[in-house]
Amino acid sequence: MIDFSLTDEQKMLVEMTRSFVEQEMLPHEETLERTNTLPPKLAAVLKKQAMELGLHACNLPEEVGGGGLDAVSVMLIEKELGRTSLALAECAHRPLNILAACEGEQVTQFLEPTIKGEKRDCIAMTEPGAGSDLRGMKCKAVCDGDEWMISGEKHFISQASVSDYCVLFAATGEEETSKGFKKRISAFLVAFDDPGVEVAPGYRNVSHRGYTNNILRFDNARIPAWRMMGPEGDGFRLVNEWLGPTRLTVAATCVARAERAFDTALNYAATREQFDQKIGKFQGIAFPLADMATEIKMANLLLLETAWKIDQGTVTPETCAMTKLFCTEMLARVADQSLQTVGGMGLMEDLPLERIWRDARVERIWDGTSEIQRHIISRGLLRPLGA
């Protein structure tokens, strides 16, 4: 049986999140875009409201104190939050899914305070010399008695300046594989007030105003042994387990933005007149509208199926990769075509189009580039055939 309908609870979640975004977040977009800053007072108010609505940590399991929502419901919430600027949407913080792997003291010191909104997390994998190829990382952790000593640098770390700690990936040795010796990667919880840890300013970039990225430096930073997540060398497995739902989040945000851009273009095509008629009457404008509507429809179906598969426990890395690839590339096409449909006004800051078009650019790069998604998909196709 195939049933695409939402439950009453899911419909209520969508309605609630939509009106929160419309009433509390959208009015602040213009100022955020202009100043490139999210005032801490506004962030605190939005966070408090999001907690009252049950949006904060809604993605984490109930057993660890989170909202315990199924993947379809989380995806629907992501889609509603995705309509607004990322810096505003992130005030309704959904902590890293990987935190569900916390055990023992990690739960009381990191997971629980994060779920209560007392601490904030971010993730540190990428380095100047290691982006797509994470095993190339130079950041290393050396065991010294009952401590780990960490040295190295990470860059492009989103929101580290407003976070209290990171889930850090560092090399803890080497292992022999069929392709020669490879680094063993482990995950650690590293607090930003640990001695030897520095959070430095990052780069200015074209996408997502008010959403910072930072450089992290570790100068023989010492952390207790219990801060390692999972067994030593388990970092890659944790990343892979975590990346599926994260890629779905990116995809849901992209579909939300594509819908907003498309709505703007559609309304414009239906009202703007040139050559004594509505521009929507020109096939050159109307047919791209049809193509965009079709692509958005396909993306929504893909989102729904992937989220449903996560809930069924049948999702594969290939499915998540296809969803991220299609939705991020689709947003790039729709943002560009929507802007073209509106013409010159599309580039002006009065409409949300130039921002959606700018913000769209990073989605095909972070959380695994489009090329890496194609690599995952094609490997899944060819490997069973021995190629």
Nearer to ligand FAD, 125 or 321 (CB): 125
Smallest distance from ligand FAD to CB 133, Å: 6
Residue 171 sits at φ, ψ, to 5 deg, of -80, 135
Nearer to ligand FAD, 213 or 306 (CB): 213
362 binds ligand FAD (CB under 6 A): yes
β-strand partners of 147: 144, 224
Q: Is the dihedral of CA 98, 103, 106, 107 positive or negative?
A: positive
Distance separating alpha carbons of residues 190 and 387, to the nearest angstrom: 40
Smallest distance from ligand FAD to CB 266, Å: 30
In angstroms and rounded to an integer, the radius of gyration of the C-alpha atoms of the chain is: 22
**Which of 32, 72, 91, 157 forms a contact with ligand FAD (CB under 6 A)?**
157
End-to-end CA distance of the chain: 36
Residues contacting 77, CB < 8 A, separation 6+: 13, 14, 17, 55, 58, 69
For helices 71-81 and 8-20, give the axis angle rounded to 10 degrees.
20
Question: Per-residue x/- marks for ligand FAD, 110-149, CB under 6 A?
Answer: ------------xxxxx----xx-----------------
**Which of 44, 240, 371, 378 forms a contact with ligand FAD (CB under 6 A)?**
371
Residues contacting 192, CB < 8 A, separation 6+: 160, 163, 164, 165, 166, 199
Nearer to ligand FAD, 24 or 367 (CB): 367
375 binds ligand FAD (CB under 6 A): yes
Q: Cβ of 272: how many Cβ atoms within 10 Å?
A: 15
Residues in 207-266 that interact with ligand FAD by CB under 6 A: 213
Q: How many helices and strands (H and E) does the chain possess?
A: 12, 10
Smallest distance from ligand FAD to CB 130, Å: 7
Residues contacting 17, CB < 8 A, separation 6+: 53, 55, 76, 77, 80, 81
In terms of Cα–Cα distance, which of 228, 288, 266 is closest to 106?
A: 228
Nearer to ligand FAD, 137 or 292 (CB): 137
158 binds ligand FAD (CB under 6 A): yes
Q: Count interface residues toward ligand FAD (CB under 6 A).
A: 21
156 binds ligand FAD (CB under 6 A): yes
Stretch that binds ligand FAD, among 239-247, 302-310, 314-322, 359-367 (CB under 6 A): 359-367
Nearer to ligand FAD, 213 or 264 (CB): 213
Residues in 316-355 that interact with ligand FAD by CB under 6 A: none
User: Is the CB of residue 141 less than 8 Å from the CB of residue 190?
Assistant: no
Smallest distance from ligand FAD to CB 41, Å: 24
Nearer to ligand FAD, 25 or 157 (CB): 157
Q: Cβ of 275: how many Cβ atoms within 10 Å?
A: 8
Question: Per-residue x/- marks for ligand FAD, 15-44, CB under 6 A?
Answer: ------------------------------
Binding footprint of ligand FAD on the chain (CB under 6 A):
122-126, 131-132, 156-158, 205, 213, 362, 365-369, 371-372, 375
